[in-house]
Structure 1
Amino acid sequence: MNVRSEMKRLLFVGIVAVFLLAPSTTRGEVSRVEIAERKLFANGHPFGQVGAYESISGRLHFEIDPIAEENVRICDLELPPRNAGGQVEYWQDFFLLRPVDPRKGNGCLLYDVHNRGSKLALWTFNDAEMSATPSTMQHAGNGFLMREGYSVLWTGWNGDVVDDGTGRLLAGLPIAKNSDGTTITGRNYVEFIVDEPKFSEAFYFSQWGTAAGYPTVDLHDAGARLTRRESRSADAIVVPRTDWAFADYDDGKVTANPTSLYVKAGMKPGWIYELLYTARDPRVSGLGLAGIRDAVSFFRYGEGDRSAATNQPLSAACDRAIIFGISQSGRLAHHFMYEGFNRDSDGRTIFDGAVIHVAGAGKGLFNSRFGMATVYGTQLRQNLSPADFFPFATSVQEDPETGATGDSLARLRGQGELPKLFFVQSSTEYWSRAASLLHTDVNGSRDVDPEANTRIYLIAGSQHLGATATDRGICRYMRNPLKHRGPVLRALLTSMDAWVAHEIEPPPSEYPRIDDGTLVSVEEFRTQFPSISNVDTPTTCYQPLRLNPGPRWMTDGIADTVPPTVGKPYRTLVPAVDADGNERSGIRLPDVSVPTATYMGWNLRDEALGAVGSLADLNGGYLPFPAVSASGDSRTPLTERYRSQSEYLSKYSAAVSTLWQQSFLLAEDAIRMLAEARDADPWNRSAP
């Protein structure tokens, strides 16, 4: 029987089928699987020697024991309803891509942590068109993950993702209730900063997907309080209760909405609006972490006799697993390890390795009452949300202010071998996400070396958002077009897989350090940056505050002090730069080491948008070199830097070769980059 005929048979027996598995144990695991669709991926296109791929999608149902030892860290797990067996039930969507013949795969399950319900692995590693339901050759992109034989799994873990009809992965997490069944309420804090004049904005609005906020207990709550201030250092001004409402504003009409803020006078760009109100119905958000644990355990260790009717067709046929996450998803991966979820109920390893991309030193509000996964701090935003907290590093740190000592893997120690970790940062994470705290003490006075299981990589001159167009957006300067994400991450994923599968050591860490002068204060950075007319440098970077939400926060995930008590900030540092303004440390791609421009992980907000002098969130910057000597620009012009196109290409080729030898580029990407450089014209300002 050929592959296509076999897939037709599977579709006939499997589509919209419900597979009932063996009865759930009292520990917590997948109890039932609904398969909504199973089909050939990319019309059965063969990917090298691995051959065709198939996609299987549907919904996983879980039952979890609220008193089992491995679940004690889940906030409020004792409070949602239980079934007749005393278990808590919830569900998560799933989507699996695997070789049609699993024996031809490479034996590795790559778990891509969705970001606000969106799948990112194919877009990242395959340079593919992003899709909620990948199915075509456009969604396969260059085919890298398929050619290499990875099985790729996504599950819905985040209970605040909204079903907006675009196919985002969802999770059905239960609502916690008081022991007598009544509604749980609590004070909640929400911050708003708009980039254009608005009369209303949803709680936790995001251009990448607005999260489901916690509703107010009363649309007319007289105890709710709204303040506004022009900057972080300015005094807060109370907005009279009659001048705002829990509502939307659209086309001149105000409509009540328990998860949206309406301001009668309008919201000013760059101003900080802080809402304090009483919320209700907290989700048991930590079940998202438990669901990842139990879903990957199911796909990794599921046995054929679990479902005689299907002989376990969902098996990923893998002997190892790697978790991958970008930004919020990377913070989730780090937090997953911090909470100690990397063992299943039988003590088996979930993830052998983790590739954590552009997460800075952060974890998040993934396992707390009224916690929101989307919340993170930057120099301008969300300084009072306790998403970035001690300990930051995977090796031991001390906090002299509080007396605390610890590391983010403490709960995994003693459970078996620690997972192997890559923290891959853009320059932006040092400016806007406190990345230096991964490898310094909390005072920013000395280096703290990562442990043997951890590598830290800075991709010099890159920005959090990856390569973008050079239009300014909300920024004062052009945005950063440096393409780093695909080429570097493909090489690093290959190295991680070789490390976990064969104990082949990956490249040494490449990040800025205090002891060699490549990690410096913002004040020192300002003395190093070149003099360029009409270009100002930042005066500060993100420095997380020591926040105290109350006595139950660290143990139970419940904030009693909202907003939290504010203590001294942690001291963060930024990468040092050379005379061109390009960073001296990290993985220096040829565009940085053989430059035609200054590539920056920071940018400043457009002054017309308020918050003058503030960093432009997660944006980087791009300042092309002048072609000839220019007054007011201390950088060497292109015509003096490279005598000819041949000289430029020679230096560029040497830089590519070095990165390939260091295993920071694969051969296929090195060849492509050389071809692109040959066709490029570095003196052509219209095509940076």
Structure 2
Amino acid sequence: MIFRLSQSLLFLLVSALAVQARIVRIEISSRQTPTFEGRVFGSVGAYEKLRGKAYGELDPNLPQNAGITDIRLAPRNARGMVEYAMDIYILKPVDLKTGNHKLFLEVNNRGGKLFGGLNNSTGGNDPTTAAQAGEGFLMNRGYTLAWNGWDPSAAAVNNNLTISIPVARQADSSAITGPSYEYISFDNATTGSYALAYPAANLDKSRAVLTVRDQLQDAPTPVPADGWEYVNERTIRLTPAGAAFRQSAVYEFVYLARDPIVAGIGFAATRDFVSFLRYAKTDDFGHPNPLADDVQYTFSYTLSQPARYLNDFQTLGFNADEQNRRVIDGMENWLGGGSGIGLNVRFAQPSRTERNRQNHLYPEGVFPFAYPVLTDPLSGKTAGRGAACSATNTCPKVFEINSANEYWVKAASLLHTDGQGNDLPDPENVRFFLVSGAQHGTGNATSQGICQQLQNPTNAEPLLRALFVALDEWVTKGTKPPESAVPRRSDGTAAVAVSQPGRQTGLVPRAELGWPTIPGVMYTGLITTRYQLDFGPAFAKGIVANYPPSVTDRPVYVNFVSKVDQDGNEVAGIRLPPVAVPVATTTGWALRQGGFAENEGCEGSGQYIPFKTTKAERLAAHDPRLSLQERYPTHASYVEAVRKAAQNLAKKRLLLDEDVQKYTKAAEASLVLK
């Protein structure tokens, strides 16, 4: 009897451990030791590369998982668990003892790696050679780098990281159907077909609507039934054969779809992977955790889409694992704006993101936007991005860093305001930074693309490196972080947007912004507006009924951007040397050129509008901005101004000493007044 009782207790204990072990199996399919052609990184030594898969299980009844949309409708294994599998990729010191015992999780963008983001590398999706290690910023400091698949829309090509998750089914195993929505726009005149995110429930065209408009402010016009057709359940095309979508026109397709995937599992996958690396010794089959007993601190780095992912990761409570342990200690979120990702909804399309003229009306920019618990002034709902982690004492330290483009096209000011445009105090664990005058990423100053002006080349990576060091010191040493640097209404640096009734964009009046009249440069004030969108009564459960939601007469949230100086350069935020010591006006916004929906938003691009070299040239052009000669009498004086600006940023811990030297050398090598 005692023996039987012991067996029962042992079974219950093993079962409990299995339930907690969310990553049940890890497979390392390849190991390259060393990688980077044996390159040695300071005292850390060589690195090795591990590639493989991790297999996870989720108990749909646990509170930590119950909020995943449709998880109760996912198929289960014999243990009643919902299964998933994901690609994993690890770069670690060959000898973990020489590393710094810190995990650097780079959340991939649509399956693609940036190889640490801060390494100044061209390593791509499978960094292997010594040259592809770049400057080795992270490796020289001893970080272990890790990636995992989380985005179910990521294509399984070119070493992308993918995840396999189940399709939700009705309780009787029949297919789930519902409305799905496609925002379609091509900046060419040759594309004639379009792949749907989900299969059509049937090919009855009377159950679908395709509309078109050339400008956002135009009323959508239905495409006649004989003007399009289903190629199959996953593809539509225009007819007659050879017809193409109008260049840069906006088409919208609403149809009855089937077989939604349980996309919110993508949040649990990252939670469980990092928790496994941090806390586990082996998987359920005895395979060792390659980082067992090593990880003392965890950090994440994101750029764009995954920054929005981590915004919702926090909101939905996934920074606590199933045992309520903190998953990520410090997050550096770059280019996330005030948005989420719309992953935890039925018929999710996480690859989408809204800008002035791109991918409107998806469930991305929905309340809550800010970290504190607030009451939504439009819906009356109460929530905050930091509420879930506060309840479990698992909040990370967070740097929310955005370019000017995110303020213009993704309403980033909502991160630090109350929805009515009133400034909020910084949460204890979060700081906010605007990279003044920067576009979404680094642009090519020799190319316009489809925009009216040259793209903006302002590069934020030197700042990101310094802030990452500051984040590490905040987490590991308790060192006070740099102060937030963003536009505020309270200090007079915010230019508030005005909504336009019945339109999907707002505007910032020229006088409000302080924008100068620059010859040859169009200013319309176009800015993204965040509406309170009505997705239907079941949206709280992740089910979208209203597609597309109407914006006509919908209330709007108040958002703003930074005011500008007499040159058109932003006054708020962190002014890197190219903005503090300018040779051009740099903006986070841009407009499309003729033939591509002229004067509408040019998505993530900014502008680079050079100053004239001499006073005579600028007077002849009627340019109000001072010429280079009027600003910097000599090349040497320009170089000195750059050096001082960089040094001032370094004193504030916003640049590292090595990047101060790089800015100075770049100024010396420039042709400014040579």
User: Which stretch shifts more, 521-530 or 35-44?
Assistant: 521-530
Question: Where do residues 183-582 of structure 1 align in structure 2 (5 Å cutoff)?
Answer: 183-203=175-195, 213-247=197-231, 256=232, 258-262=234-238, 264=240, 265-303=243-281, 311-315=288-292, 317-444=294-421, 446-484=422-460, 486-521=461-496, 522-524=508-510, 528-554=514-540, 556-566=541-551, 567-582=554-569
The question of whether the paired residues in 2 share the 8 Å contact of 1:227 and 1:236 is answered with: yes
The question of whether the paired residues in 2 share the 8 Å contact of 1:463 and 1:618 is answered with: yes
The question of whether the paired residues in 2 share the 8 Å contact of 1:353 and 1:419 is answered with: yes
- Assess, with a 3 A threshold, how the Cα gap between structure 1 residues 527 and 175 changes in structure 2: closer, same or farther: closer
- Assess, with a 3 A threshold, how the Cα gap between structure 1 residues 634 and 625 changes in structure 2: closer, same or farther: same
The question of whether the paired residues in 2 share the 8 Å contact of 1:109 and 1:316 is answered with: no
Pairing 1:30–2:19 present: no
User: Which stretch shifts more, 190-199 or 576-585?
Assistant: 190-199
Counterpart secondary structure, 2:375: strand
Query: 1:224 and 1:663 mapped to 2: Cα distance?
Result: 55
Give, in angstroms, the shift of residue 417 of structure 1. Answer: 4.3
Query: 1:390 and 1:258 mapped to 2: Cα distance?
Result: 32
Q: Which amino acid aligns with 2:262?
A: V
User: Which stretch shifts more, 332-341 or 224-233?
Assistant: 224-233
Residue matched to 2:609: 623
The question of whether the paired residues in 2 share the 8 Å contact of 1:530 and 1:633 is answered with: no
Question: What is the aligned counterpart of 1:90 among 84, 88, 94?
Answer: 84
- Assess, with a 3 A threshold, how the Cα gap between structure 1 residues 28 and 69 changes in structure 2: closer, same or farther: farther
- Assess, with a 3 A threshold, how the Cα gap between structure 1 residues 305 and 216 changes in structure 2: closer, same or farther: closer
Give, in angstroms, the shift of residue 268 of structure 1. Answer: 1.6
Cα deviation 1:108-142 (Å, max 9, x = unaligned): 111111101100143x2111114221211122101
Residue matched to 1:669: 659
Give, in angstroms, the shift of residue 315 of structure 1. Answer: 3.1
Question: What is the aligned counterpart of 1:173 among 152, 158, 165?
Answer: 165
Query: 2:209 and 2:284 mapped to 1: Cα distance?
Result: 54
Query: 2:426 and 2:177 mapped to 1: Cα distance?
Result: 41
Query: 1:635 and 1:22 mapped to 2: Cα distance?
Result: 72
Cα deviation 1:480-531 (Å, max 9, x = unaligned): 11122x2111111111111111111111111111111211121156661122
Q: Which amino acid aligns with 1:29?
A: R
- Assess, with a 3 A threshold, how the Cα gap between structure 1 residues 655 and 503 changes in structure 2: closer, same or farther: same
The question of whether the paired residues in 2 share the 8 Å contact of 1:24 and 1:30 is answered with: no
Cα deviation 1:323-370 (Å, max 9, x = unaligned): 211110100011100100111111111011111100100011111110
Give, in angstroms, the shift of residue 169 of structure 1. Answer: 0.5
Question: What is the aligned counterpart of 2:57 among 30, 54, 63?
Answer: 63
Q: Which amino acid aligns with 2:434?
A: L
- Assess, with a 3 A threshold, how the Cα gap between structure 1 residues 427 and 655 changes in structure 2: closer, same or farther: same
Question: What is the aligned counterpart of 1:139 among 129, 132, 136?
Answer: 132
Number of corresponding residues: 641
The question of whether the paired residues in 2 share the 8 Å contact of 1:525 and 1:574 is answered with: no
- Assess, with a 3 A threshold, how the Cα gap between structure 1 residues 497 and 602 changes in structure 2: closer, same or farther: same
User: Which stretch shifts more, 520-529 or 111-120?
Assistant: 520-529
Cα deviation 1:236-284 (Å, max 9, x = unaligned): 111112111234xxxxxxxx46144435442222321110101111111
- Assess, with a 3 A threshold, how the Cα gap between structure 1 residues 306 and 101 changes in structure 2: closer, same or farther: farther
Give, in angstroms, the shift of residue 183 of structure 1. Answer: 1.1
- Assess, with a 3 A threshold, how the Cα gap between structure 1 residues 106 and 538 changes in structure 2: closer, same or farther: farther
Q: Which runs of 5+ in 1 are unaligned?
A: 1-20, 205-212, 248-255
Pairing 1:648–2:654 present: no
Query: 1:343 and 1:565 mapped to 2: Cα distance?
Result: 36
The question of whether the paired residues in 1 share the 8 Å contact of 2:325 and 2:394 is answered with: no
Give, in angstroms, the shift of residue 462 of structure 1. Answer: 0.9
The question of whether the paired residues in 2 share the 8 Å contact of 1:431 and 1:602 is answered with: yes
The question of whether the paired residues in 2 share the 8 Å contact of 1:377 and 1:544 is answered with: no
Give, in angstroms, the shift of residue 200 of structure 1. Answer: 2.4
Give, in angstroms, the shift of residue 455 of structure 1. Answer: 0.5
Counterpart secondary structure, 2:393: coil
Query: 1:525 and 1:329 mapped to 2: Cα distance?
Result: 35
Q: TM-score, normalised to structure 2's length?
A: 0.92
The question of whether the paired residues in 1 share the 8 Å contact of 2:106 and 2:300 is answered with: yes
Q: TM-score, normalised to structure 1's length?
A: 0.90
- Assess, with a 3 A threshold, how the Cα gap between structure 1 residues 661 and 50 changes in structure 2: closer, same or farther: same
Query: 1:592 and 1:38 mapped to 2: Cα distance?
Result: 45
Question: Where do residues 38-49 of structure 1 align in structure 2 (5 Å cutoff)?
Answer: 38-39=31-32, 40-49=34-43
Query: 1:132 and 1:284 mapped to 2: Cα distance?
Result: 26
Q: Which amino acid aligns with 1:327?
A: S
Q: Which runs of 5+ in 2 are unaligned?
A: 1-13, 497-507
Question: Where do residues 89-108 of structure 1 align in structure 2 (5 Å cutoff)?
Answer: 89-108=83-102
The question of whether the paired residues in 1 share the 8 Å contact of 2:76 and 2:82 is answered with: yes
- Assess, with a 3 A threshold, how the Cα gap between structure 1 residues 506 and 604 changes in structure 2: closer, same or farther: same
